[in-house]
Structure 1
Amino acid sequence: MQYKRSSELFLEASQFIPGGVNSPVRAFKSVGGTPLFMKRAEGPYIWDEDGTKYVDYINSWGPAILGHTDPIVLDAIKQQADSGFSFGTPTELETTIAKLIVENVCNVDQIRMVSSGTEACMSAVRLARGYTGRDKIIKFEGCYHGHSDSFLIKAGSGAATFGNPNSPGVTKGTAQDTLLSQYNDIDQVRSLFVEYPEQIAAVIIEPVAGNMGCVLPQNDFLKQLRSLCDEHGTLLIFDEVMTGFRLDFSGAQKVYEVAADLVTYGKVIGGGLPVGAFAGRAPIMDALAPKGAVYQAGTLSGNPLAMRAGLTTLQLILSDPLFYSALARTTQVLDETVSSLLNEKGIQHTVNRQGSMMSVFFGVDQVENFYQATLANHQMFNKFFHHLLSKGIYLPPSGYETWFISRAIGEEELDKTYNAVRSFEP
């Protein structure tokens, strides 16, 4: 397979963009080689600058849940563009999508739009601190909530890939207010509450982790977190930037029957355009400016193009009562078939899956936290990645990332994937 044009573009980009990419997760530093530059996408496929076509299991890191450039969403964006790109004023469209979400998502009274998942998580933590009058937060090793200073303490995803989970530039003072616990270890969380009584403003968690690979909560972990937060007057924040509107319209809150105090969103809510949001119960959200004293602002928040794309995407999902069950079934078949093919080859592995998210970990039998994710055979994953890439299958370029399956994936794409796995030799 030829990557000539991508190699040329990466060389040029490296002269003007740090590392040649505008986000580290796009680099191939973990798997080796040169990142591919894409030029178009449609349905379940993306095409690189050399014209090679790939079945896409990244889907823009989650938002392309309908597949790429869905014609109905695309038409809506075009119509909105004719009316204006951005106004810097309120629009009816912002209220329309907010109303749709509040009326269809459990445990949400109000929602505020921002421009990214990072901004959503940063704002939710500030709100939690302002509302409770406390400074400290608990986060979990391997969970990534964006690149705000408070979160780059044992972060997953790109930080883990680059072997530098504690980023330079994060001050010691900031780090001291971020308490760490191991994912799925409720005893560690309980001990932190004992050690720092009445000091913890919030516990923030990916209810299904997506940044150390797909890792699921075990043994009622989320429900136990809810109980601990209630006991200590601490807010529970679900980072549903990945899981929101993907696992279910009400996200992990619905799937695991746990009510969060605040929820952060991104990805699907923008239909592929840059957007984020945070939402929660009215008494907490009322603490935000201009009504309350906790300041948060964004010039391009509620951008009409993003709102139109997101609204249309969410309406299409709601119009299909079988949307989530069909998507989960496709992912289940993919999981079971890939696992069966690897078993036939005697390749030790485990597959973690929830809804339309999944990850393959090589060389281990279970992954329930970040430490176990680091024990996986990532060299094997790198070989697997490049083999599938050579066969026209585009996976996330890191063993610490999650595959995202779209509605556009059908039998043809699945068969192509199976044939690629079938020919893999470690």
Structure 2
Amino acid sequence: MMMSQVKTARAPSHSRASMRSTRCQAATTTSKHTVTKSAEIMKEAQDLLPGGVNSPVRAFKSVGGGPIVFDKVKGAYAFDVDGNKYVDYVGSWGPAIVGHASDEVNEALIAQLAKGTSFGAPCALENELAKAVIDAVPSVEMVRFCNSGTEACLSALRTMRAYTGREKVLKFVGCYHGHADSFLVQAGSGVATLGLPDSPGVPSASTAPTLCATYNDIESVREIFKANKGEIAGVFIEPVVGNSGFIPPTKEFLQALREITEEDGAVLCFDEVMTGFRISYGGAQEHFGVTPDMTTMGKVIGGGLPVGAYGGKREIMDVVAPAGPMYQAGTLSGNPLAMTAGLKTLEILRRDDRAGYKHMDRQTKKLVEGILELGKKHGHAMTGGSISGMFGFFFCEGPVNCFQDAEKTDTAKFAKWHRGMLEEGVYLAPSSYEAGFMSMAHTDEDIEFTLKAADKVLASL
């Protein structure tokens, strides 16, 4: 997207004054009517959906208060069923990188809609998106599309086991790779948010082959490989952690991990469901210059529609059926709508020498540095950082290099912060253990509005 288009592709214009007015009007309405539309919908949902939601973090359990029920989204904004407008830094948990409901993406989807929503058969769009992914992601020589990040990761795990003939897998404490049985061991994301132990319903036999190391601690990895020499099929890692809050790796840690896995004959898989096409066009592996054997993807490559993908070296992917014996299938895999949205989104990201990434990097740094400075001004222990359009911060002294460090964050203070920012018209992830996301649609005015809100809320904590 051209930068001029980024700056002008906004939802219906609202000045900061009118945004504050909207919030005040909402507060007045709420005081007159004790039950909002959001509350009414969530009350009904309690009898229809487990916990009233279809994904745990949406329930606001760790931050308190009632969840916000969205009505529509556009650009950098979300609008709830009560008519309130929010500057949105969740972005559907990452996919809305070019902005919500992009006109270009929507037009492509409408054109495809007339041709059909699901084929259950090959379509040319699969080839086109596959070529775009292979061209962009250094590790990917072949790719298989599926329907979610969870499906991509569980399929990649099965693939690496089939390829190596080994069963054990190493992951890192606090890293989340979807809700497949093998990965629900010391996981981050909603598991950490809700304070849950390893999930009930997961057989001990499923997690027995799962080994856990400490993120950014290469010696913990060496010790595990030494104790399990020649037995580890592969390593799964979030190359930038987004499910324990935002935690970047050191490049040296990733390089050493690459060396250890190569020496042992284990497969190294970067879980780039979150970082893929977000922190750079080629993902974290392009950003850090470390190439894994396999990569899992999702979110951005679906342009807002459900999608997942796993890929890697040709020799590894050749074990996947029907080319090889490792079975994996999906009725909606390669769905033409998801392929269309993904293709158009990647086209926008490639445009104008990838100017959108420069825009997101600039805006994200301005936001995070501004919030940390305001935290210092008001006497709060805070630390945080960003890479391109992905960011996060913690209410504790830094640095935060792993999940154990992240656990030191003041979750009670974060809950107050979250509710305060929501009241000011800023929508942040409702968890201390989730990263935030910037889009190409966020403007200087949005950042200024957010920092002014942060100043007010931090002063009140």
1:197 aligned partner, one-letter code: K
Asked whether the equivalents of residues 152 and 165 of structure 1 are also in contact (C-alpha less than 8 Å), the reply is no
1:132 aligned partner, one-letter code: T
Deviating runs (4+, > 2 A) in structure 1? none
2:383 aligned partner, one-letter code: T
Corresponding residue of 2:380: 347
Q: Does 1:371 pair with 2:386?
A: no
Partner-residue secondary structure (3-state), 2:295:
strand
* Matches of 2:144 and 2:445, distance apart in 1: 40
Partner-residue secondary structure (3-state), 1:77:
helix
Corresponding residue of 2:165: 133
Corresponding residue of 1:327: 360
* Matches of 1:374 and 1:105, distance apart in 2: 33
Q: Does 1:384 pair with 2:384?
A: no
Q: Does 1:215 pair with 2:250?
A: no
Corresponding residue of 1:225: 257
State the TM-score, normalized to the length of structure 2: 0.91
2:401 aligned partner, one-letter code: E
Corresponding residue of 1:80: 112
1:189 aligned partner, one-letter code: V
Among candidates 43, 68, 92, match of residue 124 of structure 2: 92
* Matches of 1:418 and 1:325, distance apart in 2: 20
Alpha-carbon shift at residue 171 of structure 1 (Å): 1.1
Corresponding residue of 1:63: 95
* Matches of 2:445 and 2:362, distance apart in 1: 16
* Matches of 2:223 and 2:436, distance apart in 1: 34
Corresponding residue of 1:411: 444
* Matches of 1:43 and 1:378, distance apart in 2: 30
Alpha-carbon shift at residue 104 of structure 1 (Å): 2.6
Q: Does 1:272 pair with 2:312?
A: no
Asked whether the equivalents of residues 41 and 47 of structure 1 are also in contact (C-alpha less than 8 Å), the reply is yes
Q: Does 1:164 pair with 2:208?
A: no
* Matches of 2:197 and 2:234, distance apart in 1: 21
* Matches of 1:62 and 1:244, distance apart in 2: 10
How many correspondences in the alignment?
426
Asked whether the equivalents of residues 75 and 101 of structure 2 are also in contact (C-alpha less than 8 Å), the reply is yes
Alpha-carbon shift at residue 219 of structure 1 (Å): 5.6
Among candidates 78, 89, 98, match of residue 46 of structure 1: 78
Using the TM superposition, name which of 243-252 and 336-345 deviates more. 336-345
* Matches of 1:107 and 1:402, distance apart in 2: 25
1:146 aligned partner, one-letter code: G
1:349 aligned partner, one-letter code: M
Corresponding residue of 2:39: 7
Q: Percent identity?
A: 48
Asked whether the equivalents of residues 31 and 382 of structure 1 are also in contact (C-alpha less than 8 Å), the reply is yes
Corresponding residue of 2:209: 177
Q: In structure 2, do the counterparts of structure 1 residues 165 and 182 end up closer, same or farther at CA, with 3 Å as the change threshold?
A: farther
Alpha-carbon shift at residue 15 of structure 1 (Å): 0.2
Asked whether the equivalents of residues 422 and 428 of structure 2 are also in contact (C-alpha less than 8 Å), the reply is yes
Output the aligned Cα RMSD: 0.9
* Matches of 2:201 and 2:397, distance apart in 1: 34
Partner-residue secondary structure (3-state), 1:16:
coil
Q: Does 1:305 pair with 2:337?
A: yes
State the TM-score, normalized to the length of structure 1: 0.99
Partner-residue secondary structure (3-state), 1:379:
helix
Alpha-carbon shift at residue 363 of structure 1 (Å): 2.4
Deviations 1:183-223 (A, max 9, x none): 11111111111111111001000000000000011261111
2:390 aligned partner, one-letter code: M
Asked whether the equivalents of residues 242 and 266 of structure 1 are also in contact (C-alpha less than 8 Å), the reply is yes
Asked whether the equivalents of residues 156 and 165 of structure 1 are also in contact (C-alpha less than 8 Å), the reply is no
Using the TM superposition, name which of 343-352 and 150-159 deviates more. 343-352
Alpha-carbon shift at residue 108 of structure 1 (Å): 1.4
Asked whether the equivalents of residues 261 and 267 of structure 2 are also in contact (C-alpha less than 8 Å), the reply is yes
Using the TM superposition, name which of 146-155 and 333-342 deviates more. 333-342
Asked whether the equivalents of residues 364 and 377 of structure 1 are also in contact (C-alpha less than 8 Å), the reply is no
* Matches of 1:195 and 1:239, distance apart in 2: 24
Corresponding residue of 2:144: 112
Alpha-carbon shift at residue 293 of structure 1 (Å): 0.6
1:379 aligned partner, one-letter code: A
Partner-residue secondary structure (3-state), 2:352:
coil
Partner-residue secondary structure (3-state), 1:60:
helix
Using the TM superposition, name which of 355-364 and 261-270 deviates more. 355-364
Asked whether the equivalents of residues 139 and 295 of structure 2 are also in contact (C-alpha less than 8 Å), the reply is no
Corresponding residue of 2:274: 242
Deviations 1:10-53 (A, max 9, x none): 11000010000000021100001111110100010000110100
Partner-residue secondary structure (3-state), 1:83:
coil
Deviations 1:251-287 (A, max 9, x none): 0111111111000000000000000100101110111
Corresponding residue of 1:287: 319
Paired residues for 1:246-257 under 5 Å: 246-257=278-289
* Matches of 1:42 and 1:251, distance apart in 2: 25
Asked whether the equivalents of residues 243 and 434 of structure 2 are also in contact (C-alpha less than 8 Å), the reply is yes
* Matches of 1:240 and 1:198, distance apart in 2: 26
